[in-house]
Amino acid sequence: MKAEIFKHSQWIPETDPEILMFYFYTALQTAEFNVLDFMQHKFKPEGYTAIWLLAESHFAIHTFPEHRKSYIELSSCNLEKHNKFIELINHEYEQNRTQ
């Protein structure tokens, strides 16, 4: 088996920690990633960062509330799960852009 890591990053128009945590935890499960651990931190007065440790690597979120956007990043050694996750999030944010 060849050692490969597939990476994806993008900006999204959401900064609410509760929405981000719920949505991305659900998307990771739907894409069939194996979540090993989760860590988050809420900054004062605002800001949020979170990371999911996956059996297949990791997923991270960093919010920039002052700019009304968040940066997300997925690293995965499983191309099938990686592509499924990207498809899910792109579908979600495409729907939101058309409303």
Side-chain-side CA neighbours of 47 within 13 Å: the count stands at: 7
pLDDT tens per residue, range 71-92: 999 999 999 999 999 999 988 7
pLDDT tens per residue, range 29-71: 999 999 999 999 999 999 999 999 999 999 999 999 999 999 9
Q: Is the pTM of this model over 0.85?
A: yes
Active-site option among 8, 58, 75, 77: 77
pLDDT tens per residue, range 1-13: 789 999 999 999 9
Our answer to whether residue 75 is catalytic in this structure is no
pLDDT at 97 over 70: no
Active-site option among 57, 70, 76, 82: 57
Per-residue b or e along 26-36, where b marks 16 or more CB atoms closer than 10 Å to that residue's CB? ebbeebebeee
Active-site option among 8, 58, 62, 75: 62
Our answer to whether residue 62 is catalytic in this structure is yes
